[in-house]
Amino acid sequence: MHQLPRTGRLHPFTVLVLAAAVVAITTAAGRWWLHTAVLAGCLLLAARAKRAGKLVRLGAVILVPAWGSHLLIHGLIDTGGGHVLAAAGPLRITTEGLVTAGQLGLRTGVLVVAGLLCSMLIDRHDLVAAVDLSSAPPQAGYLLAATLSLLPRLAQRQRAIGQAQALRGIPLAAGPRGWWRSVRLRSVPLVLSSVQDAADRSAYLAARGFPAKGAHTRLREVPDSPAQCWVRRVALGAMVLGPVALLAPTWVGQG
């Protein structure tokens, strides 16, 4: 059986809180070298978990359009910068615009890469169990599990539908017209199977507390320790106080 990469024996909340603290402090600091160091650290952690290639691919899919928009809006058509590097018609490349585009790109990169890394390192079953074991309502655990498993399940199901239709000999034309016909032919069985799946899984709603009927026995244990609880408290404090400490001098200066 394929095993997901584990973050040692870390609690899922520990990983999430640490990632949130790093993103908050890095964004508030606004230093390019700090953003670069965080991105490099994420790549090292992904490489250790043998997920570096997947992190790079998924990150590129999300970040390339975002970076392109930053470059277009701030780097190529900037109207406020004074140091003009090149100008041609509506295009106006300035030093200030390129710096702004780079800063926003690095901030977006840290947020996206850190989030993707958490999704790769945390076992979603441990995360759902951690929510169940916490003081959160039991409905939250079910909704979280459904959200985390929805997209992979739909992707797997639509591939199975496409393979079944191919075995039946359904012809598909090339180009946009063929793509649209493929989507149309797969959408109906995909929706019907999803509705049937929701009906079959309705019993789990009661098991997760729809409505709640007392305590439930949980068979999955999530690793935790007093040290991790202390780390989470420190990280939460740093996530709140760190940006305040970094931004307070600028607020005082503006005042």
- pLDDT tens digits for range 24-81: 999 999 899 999 999 999 999 999 989 999 999 989 988 998 888 888 887 776 666 6
Phi/psi at 113 (5° precision)? -65, -40
Among 135, 133, 134, residue whose Cα is nearest residue 219: 133
DSSP per-residue string spanning 38-96: HHHHHHHHHHHTT-HHHHHHHHHHHHHHHHHHHIIIIIIB-SS-SSEEEEETTEEEEHH
Alpha carbon of residue 116 to chain centroid: 5
pTM above 0.75, yes or no: no
Query: How much is the mean pLDDT over the chain?
Result: 79
